[in-house]
Structure 1
């Protein structure tokens, strides 16, 4: 039986949102880097297969040995297991419904599209169509960010004045293409929120190491 949490993740991946949550919770964990998206290092990504046959990160192995996949589910679970952290509205909180709505929205309407965007041949065998498919996917992602932005009323954070794992999730996924400058244009309210999450001193070292504030990262 495992004695602690084990997270399969990768730099620049959605797993960094889980790392951010664990950092704020001050929960120790073992990290196994599994670069599932690196075709030149297949063995690295294959490490996750022992826990997740989908070969995807994040994959979290709980102390009991139980496996959790799906970034939104992991983030919600961690927040609920540590209610004192206030990283998620409690079930009785009026904000809970919208919290769940937008966590699943980011996962299903936005994050899932990278399965196609990152490897267009999964759906379009002809390379001649890859550029067009990618452009349409990126436009769809932007549209979804805009739809979400039009229906939230942030305070300091998306759901109000308390940071939640939803903010961590959006701050992470919005770093992917079409990147932040596009988000700032189509979702200006959430743009202000993710900038605030970017400079949270508790997460500075993590963002720098695992997501990278390199020149031009905003797009």
Structure 2
């Protein structure tokens, strides 16, 4: 009963891999570095016509795309891991709110950043402006999220949820953790706590270490 994850180191598949690690469910990763060209994107095409990662294929053969949907589904499918508030939990509304906010307001910016020519054409100046403005937009969204949360040990209280995993990974992307800690210092403390979870240290080292272009 093994899950299959289509993903890549440093990508949106990493919080999914982290959730599966904490759940204790066996999984295999099909590496598809989709930002490196058509051949890599073609690896994902059989399970996702958008040719994007992450994709989760369940042990029953069901295909789930979109990182937030995968994380919410895993939390619900494996309640024994306690990685998400149940419908009757008073934290549920804010859990769904922020699990939706991240892909809608932050994650979506990377479709533009990965290839600014999609909107800026061949004009280098336009592309540079797009990259600068999307970085500022991402930072502003983290700042807005910070202003509307009261983190405890984790973002929604004393217990870890998949929202913490999502933020811990997405906050490593441009404009990187240094800016994230400036605009969202309380959320930054939570992210550092997730970074240090003993159960995930090996995963972080293999799949998203603080080095090179990923910064820290």
For normalisation by structure 1, the TM-score amounts to 0.95
Q: 1:27 maps to which residue?
A: 25
Distance 1:199 1:134, change over 3 A: same
Q: Unaligned regions of 5+ residues in structure 1, if any? A: none
Q: Deviations over 1:132-164 (max 9, x none)?
A: 111000000000000000001111000010000
Stretches of 4+ aligned residues off by more than 6 angstroms: none
Q: 1:78 maps to which residue?
A: 74
Match for residue 212 of structure 1 among 201, 205, 209: 209
Rounded to whole Å, the distance in 2 between the matches of 1:73 and 1:216 is 28
Match for residue 155 of structure 1 among 146, 152, 156: 152
Rounded to whole Å, the distance in 2 between the matches of 1:24 and 1:7 is 15
Rounded to whole Å, the distance in 1 between the matches of 2:195 and 2:2 is 28
Rounded to whole Å, the distance in 2 between the matches of 1:82 and 1:53 is 28
User: Which range moved further: 116-125 or 207-216?
Assistant: 207-216
Q: 1:177 maps to which residue?
A: 174
Give yes or no for the alignment of 1:13 onto 2:11. yes
Per-residue deviation at 1:29?
1.1
For normalisation by structure 2, the TM-score amounts to 0.96
Q: Unaligned regions of 5+ residues in structure 2, if any? A: none
Match for residue 90 of structure 2 among 82, 90, 94: 94
Contact 2:173 2:214 in 1 (8 A): no
Give the aligned CA root-mean-square deviation in angstroms: 1.2
